[in-house]
Amino acid sequence: MPGQSIGEKPMTDVERQARYRAARAAGRPAIRICRPTDHRSRAQRCDDTIGTLVGLQAEYAAWLAALPANLRDSAIADVLQAICELDRGELPAIEPPRGFGRD
């Protein structure tokens, strides 16, 4: 996500580079923001995703059970019922392929 512009219009590349060089010449430290990277393996991410899906399905089942009687025949009840009927029994048994010794 880009940062907010300092002026009324965005800076050109030349202006941005000049500002950067002026800051380095003045001795101000460069502040760089790096986004955290996900260091989990694909297999671990797959396991975590399956766990999340199982948890969400349980939450939706509880939501469906807690629906008032006047909403039992509504569209939201139909969607919740469809989610609860999904067969997730095979998902935990699936093991993704391992990749070239990196996993």
Residues 41-65, mean pLDDT to the nearest whole number:
89
Top-ranked range on mean pLDDT: pick from 9-13, 33-37, 90-94: 9-13
pLDDT at 36: 81
User: What does the pLDDT read at residue 42?
Assistant: 79
- pLDDT band at 84; cut points 50, 70, 90: confident
Q: What is the number of other CB atoms lying within 10 angstroms of the CB of residue 80?
A: 19
Q: Residues near 30 by Cβ (< 8 Å), separated by ≥ 6?
A: 20, 23, 24
Question: What pLDDT shows up at residue 101?
Answer: 56
In this predicted structure, the answer to whether residue 34 has a pLDDT above a threshold of 90 is: no
Q: How far apart are CA 56 and CA 43, in angstroms?
A: 20
Q: Which residues contact 42 (CB under 8 A, 6 or more apart)?
A: 96, 99, 103
Domain boundaries, the chain: 42-93
Alpha-carbon distance 101 to 48, whole Å? 21
Report pTM: 0.54
Summary mean pLDDT of the chain? 83
